Amino acid sequence: MLLLFTGFDPIGRRDRILAVPRADAARCLAEYRTASTFFQLPKSMTTIYHNPRCSKSRAAVELLESRQIEHTVVKYLETPPTEKELKEIVAMLGIEPQQLVRRGEALFKELGLGEKQLSHDEWLAVLAANPKLIERPIVVHGGRAAIGRPIDNVAALLDG
């Protein structure tokens, strides 16, 4: 996720900053011609990689909201994380990429992934190309991350 600095809002009272996925950065820069710079979200920000159809993912969003934690929602099926972002996420989780895979998905079987021996980078490429295979929800908070299964993992991350 990047922040796009657009200068003053139409009223001119303050700077306007938009959070945009990396994949949309070029389009947003063209749309907001006054934009001067992009910069990374600080590690203290909270991001949830969210699938609105998933009850655990909705529960994680509700937990963030109940604790009044400002957060960015990334609907990762619409805006998949890049291989680089996934590499950062698995590092924060302290796991290997294949541990982030939803093995029960039909797509996992269709791609024959159960029989393949893939490297770290190959798994990252598979996940970036097939976001449906990414375990959910993932919450990134304070430079650390947790998979919200069970939701207590997210609570522990926030308390942490």
How far is residue 123's CA from residue 98's CA, in Å, rounded to a whole number? 6
- Known active-site residue 28: no
How far is residue 160's CA from residue 140's CA, in Å, rounded to a whole number? 12
Q: Which listed residue (54, 73, 125, 158) is catalytic?
A: 54
Q: Is 1 helix (H, G, I), strand (E, B) or coil?
A: coil
How far is residue 70's CA from residue 67's CA, in Å, rounded to a whole number? 9
Amino acid at 105: E
On the question of a cis peptide bond just before residue 81, with omega within 30 degrees of 0, the verdict is no
Active-site residue set: 54
